[in-house]
C-alpha cells in the first residue's frame, strides 16, 4: 500500500464517520422542523436536545479532520476543489455556523419566542448543510473539479449528480437521525414519542431508498466514471446498502429500534463507501488519481503518525462518550 493510498483511506474514514455521526445530528433537524407547534412539538424537541446535545461537537470535529487531512495530504486538489466549489462550500459553512450557534442558544433561551426563533434556525440550517455538502460530493464524483485552477463556479455543483447527491445526503441524515431518535425515546420511556417518530422514520427511509436508486439512472450519463465504478467494483456495496436499508425498515416496523441503529449505520456506510470505492482510483474524478495527488512523502508519513495517535487517543474517548450517552442512566 502506497503512502498516498493509506492517507486517502484515512481521509475517507473521516468522510464516512462525518456522514454517519455528524449526519445523524444534522438529520434530527428534519424532525425538529416538522414537529409541529411549540406545544405539540415540545417533547420531540426536548428529545432532539438530549440526543445530540452531548455529542454534536465531537461529531462535528470529523469535518475538521477531513479538511485538515485533505489539505495536508493532497494540497493541490484541496485548493482546486475549494476554488471551484466555493459557493456550495460557503453555503454549507453558513449552515454549520447557524446550526451550532442556534442549537446552543435555543437550549438556554429565556422565552418561548426566542426558543422558537433559534429552533427554526437550528432546524433549517441542519437541512441545508448536508444538502450543500452532498452537492460538493456530486461535483467531485462527476469530474467537474479540474486538477489545478478553477472549474465552473455554477455548473460544478448545479448538475444532476450534485443535486441528487444533496438530496441523498439530506435523506440519509434524516433516516439515521430518525432511527437514533426512536431508540433514544424508547430507552427514555417516551413510548408515544417513539411511536410517532417510528412512523416518520419509516416514511423517510422508504423515500430515501427510492431516491438513492433513482439517482443511479442519471449517473450513467452525467457521471460515467462513477457509474462504471458503482456497477462494477462497488456493486456489492450497493447491494449491501439495499439489504441493510430494507432490514432497518423491517426492524423498525417490529419495534427493534436498538438493533435497527446498527443496520441503519451499515446502510448509510455502504452508500457512502459505494461512492468512495466507485470513484477509486480517482481523487478528483477524471482529473487526478490518488497516487498522483499526494503532497511530500515526509508529510504523508507524518500525517499517518497523527492518524495513528488519533486512533489511540480519540477513539477510546469517543467510545466512552457514546457508551455514556447511549446508556440507560443518561437517558433520563
Partner 1 sequence: MLEVLVTHLAQVEPEGLLPARQQMALSLGWHIVLACFGVAFPAMILLAHWRGVHRGDEVALGLAKRWAKCSAVLFAIGAVSGTVLSFEMGLLWPGLMGRFGDVLGLPFAFEGLSFFVEAIFLGIYLYGWGRMPPRRHLLMLLPMTVAGVFGTYCVVSVNAWMNFPTGFDIVDGEVVDVEPWAVLLSDQAFWQFLHMWIAAYMVVGFTVAAVYAVGMLRGRRDRHHRLGFTVPFVFASVAAVAQPFVGHFLGLRVADQQPAKLAAFELAVETERPSPLRIGGVLIDGEVRWALDIPVLGSVIARNSFLEPVQGLETIPADQQPPVNLTHLAFQSMVGIGTLLMLGVLLFWLARWRRRDLLEQRWFLRAAVVAAPLAVVALEAGWIATEVGRQPWVVYGVLRTSEAAGDNGWLWWLLGATAVLYTLLTIGAVVVLRSMARRWRAGEEDLPSPYGPQLADAARPEEVDR
231 binds partner 1 (CB under 8 A): no
Secondary structure element (H or E) that encloses residue 43, with its range: helix 42-52
Secondary structure element (H or E) that encloses residue 163, with its range: helix 160-187
Q: Tell me which residues in 288-317 interact with partner 1 (CB under 8 A).
A: 295-296, 298-300, 302-303, 306-307, 309-310, 313-314, 317
Q: Tell me which residues in 5-64 interact with partner 1 (CB under 8 A).
A: 38-43, 45-46, 49, 53-58, 60-61, 63-64
Cβ closer to partner 1: 75 or 224? 75
104 binds partner 1 (CB under 8 A): yes
User: In angstroms, what is the minimal distance from the CB of 15 to partner 1?
Assistant: 14
Question: Which cell goes with 178?
Answer: 430518525
Cβ closer to partner 1: 210 or 291? 291
Cβ closer to partner 1: 150 or 256? 150
Sign, CA torsion 49/183/125/69: positive
Q: Which of 31, 118, 164, 227 binds partner 1 (CB under 8 A)?
A: 118
CB 171 within 8 A of CB 207: yes
Q: Which stretch binds partner 1 (CB under 8 A): 68-76, 223-231, 240-248, 281-289?
A: 68-76
Q: Give the position of cell 437550528.
A: 122
d(C-alpha 325, C-alpha 5), whole Å:
35
326 binds partner 1 (CB under 8 A): no
306 closest CA partner among 54, 31, 65, 4: 65
Q: Which of 33, 67, 242, 262 binds partner 1 (CB under 8 A)?
A: 67
**DSSP code for 283:** E
Amino acid at each position: 500500500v502506497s503512502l498516498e493510498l493509506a492517507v486517502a483511506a484515512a481521509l475517507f474514514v473521516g468522510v464516512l464517520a462525518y456522514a454517519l455521526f455528524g449526519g445523524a445530528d444534522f438529520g434530527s433537524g428534519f424532525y425538529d422542523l416538522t414537529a409541529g407547534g411549540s406545544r405539540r412539538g415540545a417533547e420531540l424537541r426536548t428529545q432532539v436536545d438530549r440526543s445530540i446535545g452531548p455529542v454534536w461537537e465531537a461529531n462535528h470535529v470529523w469535518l475538521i479532520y477531513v479538511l485538515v487531512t485533505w489539505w495536508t495530504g493532497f494540497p493541490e486538489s484541496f485548493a482546486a476543489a475549494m476554488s471551484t466549489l466555493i459557493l456550495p462550500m460557503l453555503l454549507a459553512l453558513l449552515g454549520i455556523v447557524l446550526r451550532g450557534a442556534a442549537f446552543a442558544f435555543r437550549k438556554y433561551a429565556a422565552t418561548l419566542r426566542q426558543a422558537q426563533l433559534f429552533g427554526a434556525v437550528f432546524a433549517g440550517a441542519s437541512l441545508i448543510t448536508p444538502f450543500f455538502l452532498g452537492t460538493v460530493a456530486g461535483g467531485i464524483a462527476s469530474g467537474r473539479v479540474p486538477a489545478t485552477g478553477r472549474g465552473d463556479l455554477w455548473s460544478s455543483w448545479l448538475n444532476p449528480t450534485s443535486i441528487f447527491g444533496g438530496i441523498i445526503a439530506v435523506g440519509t441524515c434524516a433516516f439515521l437521525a430518525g432511527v437514533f431518535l426512536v431508540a433514544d425515546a424508547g430507552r427514555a420511556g417516551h413510548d408515544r414519542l417513539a411511536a410517532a417518530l417510528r412512523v416518520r422514520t419509516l416514511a423517510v427511509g422508504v423515500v430515501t431508498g427510492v431516491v438513492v436508486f433513482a439517482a443511479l439512472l442519471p449517473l450513467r450519463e452525467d457521471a460515467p466514471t462513477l457509474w462504471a465504478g458503482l456497477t462494477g467494483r462497488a456493486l456489492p456495496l450497493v447491494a449491501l446498502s439495499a439489504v441493510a436499508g430494507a432490514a432497518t425498515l423491517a426492524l423498525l416496523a417490529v419495534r427493534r429500534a436498538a438493533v435497527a441503529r446498527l443496520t441503519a449505520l451499515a446502510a448509510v456506510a455502504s452508500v457512502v463507501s459505494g461512492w468512495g470505492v466507485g470513484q477509486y482510483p480517482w481523487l478528483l474524478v477524471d482529473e487526478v488519481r490518488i497516487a498522483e495527488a499526494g503532497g511530500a512523502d515526509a508529510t504523508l508519513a507524518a500525517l499517518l503518525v497523527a492518524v495513528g495517535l488519533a486512533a489511540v487517543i480519540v477513539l477510546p474517548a469517543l467510545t466512552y462518550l457514546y457508551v455514556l450517552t447511549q446508556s440507560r442512566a443518561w437517558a433520563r
